[in-house]
């Protein structure tokens, strides 16, 4: 009897071992010729919730207006008293309390773990087998956590998508912080299951706003603040008339000196309260998030560790932060390797948009959030609104990677033949024209380069108003923009340019007496 039981158990064990393999062999394979696309979302792609499923459930990120108002309401009395008495300590008390009430529960502990009642309960799980150029599987995550945790879950997600669709490979399209997740994934799991990689506006080498804020280089600048507001106008709702009115208003404030006055007043306030806000709110909360640390470029990293007080004694949090430096250090080689081994690989960046106006690096050309030099993994870029120097251009042995507006040299980036630059492209702001280009790249059987498609050269002018992508032929001025798109806003830009010319002429007359 014992012998029979032993034989039966052996047969069951063998069947248990062979069943997964057999099901894999017999699973129906899809012969559509198009590997499914997984879209790796940006920062804030999933809600972070406190006490989910209870009557006290509260979304901490993305923050809704009512929650924001509920956090600031208790501080209104203190703010009013601070304004009436010009008391900086009271102002700092109110601001620190507001930041702590609003964002405090997002902080992680010294091991990089969240509060047990704060997490992302609604993460996507792949379902269904529908796939094609016009559909994708959405991968989201808790942006606060260690990027390698997301990489592990992405591997599971890829396996599930492959099982659902009957494909052996997937195509990854990463947006913004999704590039951080991608970087960790390539570093940890390689690329055996990847057919195509597309990154758009990704901080693959970080972003200056994180590096500078994590080293205390906070700065208010009138020019940057005005240009940041103006660059965002074409993308706002409300119609062309409202955009033109707001643009005119920002210009009138500039001519009247109001921007400078406001910044001067802001500088006084910042000087009095910034140290306390950093020490009591920003460092204890955002300094504990490995996901945000992943945005710090390498040249800022060591200084940021000191400024934010993070070191080996901090606990596992430091190890998680330090671990991601490996992925960032390896991203150039990893991208070059995957492309050389047959993975179609494409990088997309925006430029000629005013970056976040809160840091000393506000002159960096960017997509408004991520600096072009970091998103492109190493392109040489001029400052916003400027050109590369004549000396630099003259030193180039090959100018085929030089932008027609002389703002960018792509020859120095990781993948010069497969990196596109979109002028005036606001961070990750998609449109049908950009989607059409992605579709070509995703459906192509071979790697395409910036030289393969006449209509899609390396440097493209983005226009969300139409929308369209056209080759950059030079640095367009206000008159050319109006000719290409005769909107009220573009007419306002012409008027603004004329006023600037008149003002400069008047200054010249007074300066020279001519």
Task: Say which residue, 7 or 250, is predicted with more confidence.
Answer: 250
Residue 502: Cβ within 10 Å count:
10
Task: Say which residue, 396 or 62, is predicted with more confidence.
Answer: 396
Average pLDDT value for residue range 166-181: 98
Compute the distance between CA of residue 63 and CA of residue 95 in angstroms, rounded to an integer. Answer: 17
At residue 260 the predicted structure's pLDDT band, cuts being 50, 70 and 90, is: confident
C-alpha closest to that of 269 among 478, 88, 414, 129: 88
Please answer whether residues 205 and 72 qualify as being in contact, where contact means their C-beta atoms are separated by less than 8 angstroms: no
Task: Say which residue, 496 or 81, is predicted with more confidence.
Answer: 81
Q: What pLDDT, on the 0 to 100 scale, is given for residue 265?
A: 73
Please answer whether residues 482 and 445 qualify as being in contact, where contact means their C-beta atoms are separated by less than 8 angstroms: no
Dump pLDDT digits (tens) for 59-103. 999 888 899 999 999 999 999 999 899 899 999 999 999 999 999
Q: What pLDDT, on the 0 to 100 scale, is given for residue 511?
A: 61
Residue 42 pLDDT exceeds 70: yes
Average pLDDT value for residue range 206-230: 89
Dump pLDDT digits (tens) for 372-382. 999 999 999 99
Residue 332 pLDDT exceeds 60: yes
Highest mean pLDDT among 16-30, 266-280, 469-483: 266-280
At residue 233 the predicted structure's pLDDT band, cuts being 50, 70 and 90, is: confident
At residue 156 the predicted structure's pLDDT band, cuts being 50, 70 and 90, is: very high
Residue 433 pLDDT exceeds 90: yes
Note the pTM of the prediction, 2 decimals. 0.87
Residue 18 pLDDT exceeds 60: no
At residue 235 the predicted structure's pLDDT band, cuts being 50, 70 and 90, is: low
Average pLDDT value for residue range 420-434: 95
Dump pLDDT digits (tens) for 271-304. 888 999 999 999 999 999 999 999 999 999 999 9
Residue 14 pLDDT exceeds 50: no
Average pLDDT value for residue range 302-321: 93
C-alpha closest to that of 299 among 204, 202, 211: 211
The tokens for 115 are 């509060």
Judged by average pLDDT, the poorest of 270-274, 458-462, 479-483, 484-488 is: 479-483
Hey, is 418 helix, strand or coil? Answer: helix
DSSP designation for 28: P
Show the DSSP H helices in 237-376 as ranges: 239-255, 258-277, 283-286, 290-293, 298-308, 316-340, 372-375
CA dihedral 13, 14, 16, 20 (to 10 degrees): 160
Hey, is 32 helix, strand or coil? Answer: coil
Average pLDDT value for residue range 187-212: 97
Residue 511: Cβ within 10 Å count:
8
Q: What pLDDT, on the 0 to 100 scale, is given for residue 477?
A: 66
Task: Say which residue, 315 or 447, is predicted with more confidence.
Answer: 447
Q: What pLDDT, on the 0 to 100 scale, is given for residue 503?
A: 64
Residue 493 pLDDT exceeds 90: no
Cis peptide before 62 (omega within 30 of 0): yes
Q: What residue ranges in 286-440 does DSSP mark as E strands?
A: 344-351, 353-354, 365-366, 380-381, 408-409, 419-423
Compute the distance between CA of residue 182 and CA of residue 149 in angstroms, rounded to an integer. Answer: 12
Compute the distance between CA of residue 126 and CA of residue 124 in angstroms, rounded to an integer. Answer: 7
Place of tokens 């050309």: 365
- Mean pLDDT of all residues belonging to the chain: 88
Q: What pLDDT, on the 0 to 100 scale, is given for residue 17?
A: 40
At residue 495 the predicted structure's pLDDT band, cuts being 50, 70 and 90, is: low
Task: Say which residue, 506 or 364, is predicted with more confidence.
Answer: 364
Task: Say which residue, 86 or 4, is predicted with more confidence.
Answer: 86
At residue 221 the predicted structure's pLDDT band, cuts being 50, 70 and 90, is: confident
Residue 19 pLDDT exceeds 90: no
Dump pLDDT digits (tens) for 108-118. 999 999 999 99
Find the helix packing angle between 488-512 and 239-255, rounded to 10°.
10
- Residue 326's Cβ-side half-sphere holds a number of Cα atoms within 13 Å equal to 13
The tokens for 478 are 């206000």
Compute the distance between CA of residue 301 and CA of residue 310 in angstroms, rounded to an integer. Answer: 11
Cα-based distances in Å from 321 to 7, 112, 149, 402, 507: 52, 9, 12, 36, 51
Task: Say which residue, 121 or 221, is predicted with more confidence.
Answer: 121
Average pLDDT value for residue range 49-55: 96
Q: What pLDDT, on the 0 to 100 scale, is given for residue 318?
A: 96
Q: What pLDDT, on the 0 to 100 scale, is given for residue 504?
A: 64
Average pLDDT value for residue range 170-188: 98
Average pLDDT value for residue range 315-320: 94
Compute the distance between CA of residue 241 and CA of residue 263 in angstroms, rounded to an integer. Answer: 28
Show the DSSP H helices in 396-477 as ranges: 432-443
Residue 505 pLDDT exceeds 70: no
Judged by average pLDDT, the poorest of 93-102, 187-196, 471-480, 484-493 is: 484-493
At residue 198 the predicted structure's pLDDT band, cuts being 50, 70 and 90, is: very high
Say which CATH architecture domain 32-47+122-214+292-476 belongs to: 3-Layer(aba) Sandwich (3.40)
Task: Say which residue, 495 or 439, is predicted with more confidence.
Answer: 439
Q: b/e per residue, 73-100, with b = 16+ CB within 10 A?
A: eebeebbeebeeeeeeebbbbbbbbbbb
Q: Which residues have a Cβ under 8 Å from the Cβ of 3 and sit 6 or more positions away?
A: none
């Amino acid at each position: 009897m014992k012998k029979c039981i032993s034989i039966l158990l052996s047969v069951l064990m063998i069947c248990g071992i062979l069943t997964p393999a057999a099901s894999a062999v017999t699973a129906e394979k899809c012969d559509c010729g198009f590997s499914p696309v997984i879209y790796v979302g940006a920062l804030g792609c999933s809600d972070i919730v406190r006490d989910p499923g209870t009557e006290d459930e509260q979304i901490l990120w993305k923050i809704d207006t009512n929650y924001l108002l509920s956090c600031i309401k208790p501080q209104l009395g203190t703010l009013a008293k601070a304004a009436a008495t010009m008391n900086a300590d009271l102002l700092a008390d109110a601001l620190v309390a507001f930041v702590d009430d609003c964002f405090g529960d997002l902080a992680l502990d010294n091991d990089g773990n969240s509060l047990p009642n704060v997490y992302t309960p609604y993460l996507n799980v792949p379902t269904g087998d529908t796939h094609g150029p016009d559909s994708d599987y959405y991968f989201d995550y808790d942006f606060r956590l260690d990027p390698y945790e997301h990489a592990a879950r992405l591997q599971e997600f890829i396996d599930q998508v492959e099982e659902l669709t009957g494909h052996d490979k997937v195509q990854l399209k990463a947006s913004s912080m999704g590039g951080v997740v991608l970087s960790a994934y390539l570093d940890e799991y390689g690329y055996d299951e990847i057919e195509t990689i597309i990154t758009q506006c990704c901080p693959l080498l970080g972003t200056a706003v994180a590096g500078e804020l994590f080293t205390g280089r906070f700065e208010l600048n009138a020019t940057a603040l005005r240009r940041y507001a103006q660059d965002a106008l074409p993308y706002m709702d409300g119609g062309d008339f409202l955009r033109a009115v707001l643009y005119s208003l920002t210009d009138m404030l500039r001519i009247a000196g109001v921007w400078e006055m406001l910044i001067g007043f802001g500088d006084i306030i910042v000087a009095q309260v910034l140290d306390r806000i950093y020490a009591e709110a920003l460092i204890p909360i955002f300094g504990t998030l490995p996901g945000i640390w992943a945005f710090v470029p390498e040249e800022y990293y060591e200084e940021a560790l000191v400024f934010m007080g993070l070191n080996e004694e901090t606990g596992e949090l430091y190890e998680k932060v330090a671990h991601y430096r490996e992925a960032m250090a390896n991203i150039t080689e990893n991208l070059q390797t995957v492309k050389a081994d047959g993975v179609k690989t494409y990088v997309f960046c925006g430029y000629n948009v005013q970056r976040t106006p809160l840091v000393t690096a506000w002159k960096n050309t960017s997509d408004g959030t991520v600096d072009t030099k970091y998103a492109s993994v190493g392109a040489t870029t001029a400052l916003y609104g400027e050109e590369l120097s004549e000396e630099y251009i003259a030193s180039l042995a090959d100018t085929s990677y030089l932008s027609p507006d002389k703002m960018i040299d792509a020859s120095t980036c990781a993948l010069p033949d497969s990196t596109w630059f979109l002028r005036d492209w606001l961070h990750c702001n998609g449109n049908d024209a950009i989607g059409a280009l992605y579709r070509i790249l995703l459906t192509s059987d071979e790697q395409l380069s910036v030289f393969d498609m006449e209509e899609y050269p390396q440097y493209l002018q983005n226009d969300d108003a139409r929308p369209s992508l056209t080759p950059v032929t030079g640095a367009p001025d206000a008159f050319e923009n109006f000719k290409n798109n005769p909107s009220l806003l573009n007419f306002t830009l012409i008027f603004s340019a004329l006023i600037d010319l008149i003002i400069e002429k008047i200054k010249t007359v007074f300066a020279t007496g001519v």
